[in-house]
Amino acid sequence: MAKRSDRLRIHWPENITEAGEIQETLRKKVKITLLKKTPKYIAAVDAAFFENKVIGVACLYKYPEFTHIEDVSVTAKSKFPYNPGYLAFREGPAIIEAIKKLKQKPDLILFDGQGIAHPKSLGIASHVGVLLNIPTIGCAKSRLIGEYMELGMKKGQWSTLKYKGKIVGAVLRTRDNVKPVFVSPGHKIDLKNSIKIVLKCTGKYRIPAPIRRADFISKKIKRELVNPAEELEVNVCSSACQMQGSDNFLIFRSIIE
């Protein structure tokens, strides 16, 4: 007998009633379990919006040596309206298509968003993780739900995030004396390993480097759509600065970023 695929049929609704029903179905399929093996390839994803378009970006890295491999993007029509708690239905189609375009399938995916730290226990990391049957982690800049005790100011210190008496994530300090991020397991991973991987992917900035890269690329593509002439001017100036010397180029990059 042929082995049955664990990947679910992907259907994207265009109204919130059907979306709610799909969330309830997928919520029951989320698995918060020990990570079975150390990932060899990690992807980070993010999205940006322009008019009725959504730009999905996926950036792939070798792990744990943290070698950058590939960036891909997809620009698609946005069919689902903005509704708090339903982010996956708006960003998900473009993000999944970007993930599918990667030459190497990732063993784990990082999201700029929530995992199970969500009113319906199904943030975008959990939603996409279930659909693709891949371990996922949510690493959000802000809290969506839950309460937590204040944590220390040193990198690596964290406090549990609780919602209705259940631990749904962690409030994690990724840099000394800088605002924390909100980490929650998405699918097929536990909280301890989620924290470990987020810290491993974080360098001198608050946000993990792969997510920062995906965010930067999605915004760059958006700028190109908004004002192609202005983006061309930036690219020309960038090339000129590089020719003038690395120090000038670094100063220029710090200004535009």
pLDDT digits (tens, 9 = 90+) for 108-156: 999 999 999 999 999 999 999 999 999 999 999 999 999 999 999 999 9
Q: Do 153 and 253 reside in the same domain of the chain?
A: no
Domain for residue 46, yes or no?
Answer: yes
Domain for residue 9, yes or no?
Answer: no
Three-class SS of residue 216? helix
pLDDT band at 244 (very low <50, low <70, confident <90, very high): very low
Domain with residue 56: its CATH number is: 3.30.2170.10
pLDDT of residue 230: 55
Q: Do 118 and 236 reside in the same domain of the chain?
A: no
Average pLDDT for residues 190-207, to the nearest whole number?
A: 96
CB-neighbour burial class of residue 48 (10 A; exposed 0-12, middle 13-18, buried 19+): buried
Q: Do 150 and 238 reside in the same domain of the chain?
A: no
The closest of 53, 109, 99 to 76, measured between CA atoms, is 53
Q: Residue 145: phi, psi to the nearest 5? A: -140, 170
pLDDT of residue 241: 33
Q: Do 102 and 170 reside in the same domain of the chain?
A: yes
Residue numbers of the domain that contains 233? 229-257
Structural contact between residues 41 and 60, judged by C-beta atoms closer than 8 angstroms: yes
The average confidence (pLDDT) of the chain is 87
Average pLDDT for residues 41-46, to the nearest whole number?
A: 98
State yes or no: pLDDT of 206 exceeds 90: yes
pLDDT of residue 238: 38
pLDDT of residue 235: 45
Average pLDDT for residues 11-24, to the nearest whole number?
A: 89
Q: Do 48 and 78 reside in the same domain of the chain?
A: yes
pLDDT of residue 6: 54
Total-model pTM: 0.85
Measure the CA–CA gap between 41 and 68, rounded to whole angstroms.
10
Domain for residue 3, yes or no?
Answer: no
Tens digits of per-residue pLDDT, 65-119? Answer: 999 999 999 999 988 888 888 999 999 999 999 999 999 999 999 999 999 999 9
pLDDT of residue 228: 73
pLDDT band at 229 (very low <50, low <70, confident <90, very high): low
Average pLDDT for residues 212-228, to the nearest whole number?
A: 93
Domain for residue 69, yes or no?
Answer: yes
Q: What is the H or E stretch that residue 138 is in? A: strand 136-140
CA torsion sign for 186, 183, 99, 90 is positive
Name residue 137's beta-bridge partners.
110, 185
